[in-house]
Chains A and B, each alone.
Chain A
Amino acid sequence: MRISVISQLQRSFSMEFPSLVSLKLPSPMETHLWYIRPDEVKIPSLLKHYSQLLSPSEIDKVSQLRGDQLKKNALLARTLVRTTIARYQTNNAVDPRSLMFKKNTYGKPEVDWQNYKNCNIPPLHFNISHTDSLIACGVTVHVPVGIDVEDKERKIKHDVLAFAERFYSADEVKFLSTIPDPESQRKEFIKLWTLKEAYVKALGKGFSAAPFNTFTIQSKAGTKGEYNLCKTSEMTTSSLEKTNNCNGEWKFSLLELADSHYAAICIEDDQASGGAPMRVIVRKTIPFVEDELISESILL
């Protein structure tokens, strides 16, 4: 009796969970950016379905977080990673539940394909980032990727220039100090933060491999949404002899997401695309429910 009531409820709320819709792989030098808005995912049975995809250690980590919102967002983040990666496999060959993850030497998470050695698995790379109100996952093929998202309205508790002087490169401080309006200055600070974080995460060697004050990211003149990375190396103590090594090894893209967030993407350049800018395909998703292609990406 109880079982039939539940199945009646499930039918009336259309709580069937279809299998995942498969996806076409990203092209070279293309990033697929997926995001979830936690406030759009509320149905308890859907969240329960998600929790059944997680590994015991992931469940453990979620339970250690303080507060329901943090727990829910962590659940959604793991669900986003598992379902998205599973969908790129041909013929739904991979169950999101069965995916295993490991960390590289420096702690960057990656997929562990050990159980799929004989299958035709494409070399996917992913990286996630989240804020209270948005969870994002970037996916590329062949090249490492790093992403960072920040709420556009995020307030910095310290004086922005003091913060930059402490952590950013000299050229970035110079750039920020030329901005007269404090609100615009704060926004540029946040944009720079996301770009710098995305780079460090793409590099995948931890923060000590690329301290924020050792590299400068600046927009490429005459372009929209393209950026250069320049590494500062001090050959002598004299600041006059500081050299800037700007190379094209890393590609950046900065977008406005969902009207509320800045999203920065950094991928390693495969050197085969002739300097063309990165393509980004943005989709909002609720796993097992729907995808929405965001056709107009606002490049910044």
Chain B
Amino acid sequence: MASLSTTSLSFKAPSTRISQVLRNASSFQSVTFGRVTSSKSLRLQISCAAKAETVQKVSDIVKEQLALSADTPLTSESKFSALGADSLDTVEIVMALEEKFNISVEESDAQNITTIQEAADLIEELVQKKPAAETS
């Protein structure tokens, strides 16, 4: 378990790696972010919240494209193919995500999206890369 003083935790890492660390290290749940008041920790908080919201938006788009009922249980690890998506569905999902999040997905990246989490991760990465005025 890493200590969370601002000097010891490196914030130079790309935000996706930080959020993956947060996802995997359950010990972080016991840390009170309120104690660390620098702007960098605020960005951490925003990454956490945005992830869940992004996953929800992606799930909604997937449900709509694949005509799944509203109460179909979807997790972030749900695979598109296991839900019945073919390649045309996947492309339509990518287009819907581009419209929803105002991003542009490279075709090679689009092909590598197989789960809801992967889509959410890619979206977060592309949104972060946009001009600073639009992010935190």
| A contact residues vs B (CB 8 Å cutoff) | 64-67, 70, 131-132, 150, 154, 156-158, 163, 166-167, 193, 197, 206-208, 211-213
Contact = CB atoms under 8 A, between A and B. Distances in A.
B92 A207 contact: no
A213 B91 CA distance: 13
A156 B92 contact: yes
A66 B91 contact: no
B95 A158 contact: yes
Nearest to A132: B84
Contacts of B95: 158, 163, 166
B20 interface: no
B86 interface: yes
Range of interface residues on B (Cβ < 8 Å)? 10 to 19
Contact of B111 (A67, A131, A206): A206
28 contacts: A64-B79, A64-B82, A65-B82, A65-B84, A66-B72, A66-B82, A66-B83, A67-B84, A70-B84, A132-B84, A150-B88, A154-B88, A156-B92, A157-B65, A157-B92, A158-B96, A163-B92, A163-B95, A166-B95, A167-B91, A167-B107, A197-B87, A206-B111, A207-B87, A208-B108, A208-B111, A211-B107, A213-B107
Interface of B: 64-65, 72, 78-79, 82-84, 86-88, 91-92, 95-96, 107-108, 111
A206 to B, nearest CB: 7
A167 B95 CA distance: 10
Given A132-B84, A167-B91, A208-B108, 19 more contacts: A64-B82, A65-B84, A66-B72, A66-B82, A66-B83, A66-B84, A67-B84, A70-B82, A70-B84, A150-B88, A154-B88, A156-B92, A157-B64, A197-B87, A206-B111, A207-B107, A208-B107, A208-B111, A213-B107
Nearest to B78: A66
Contacts of A156: 92
Nearest to A67: B84
Contacts of A70: 82, 84
B61 to A, nearest CB: 10
A130 to B, nearest CB: 8
Contact of B96 (A132, A157, A193, A207): A157
Nearest to B111: A207
Contacts of A211: 107
Contacts of A158: 92, 95-96
Contacts of B83: 66
Nearest to B86: A131
Contacts of A206: 111
Nearest to A190: B88
A156 B65 CA distance: 10
A64 B84 CA distance: 11
Nearest to A197: B87
Contacts of B111: 206-208
Contacts of A131: 86
A257 to B, nearest CB: 16
Contacts of B65: 157
Nearest to A206: B111
A70 B79 CA distance: 13
Nearest to B87: A197
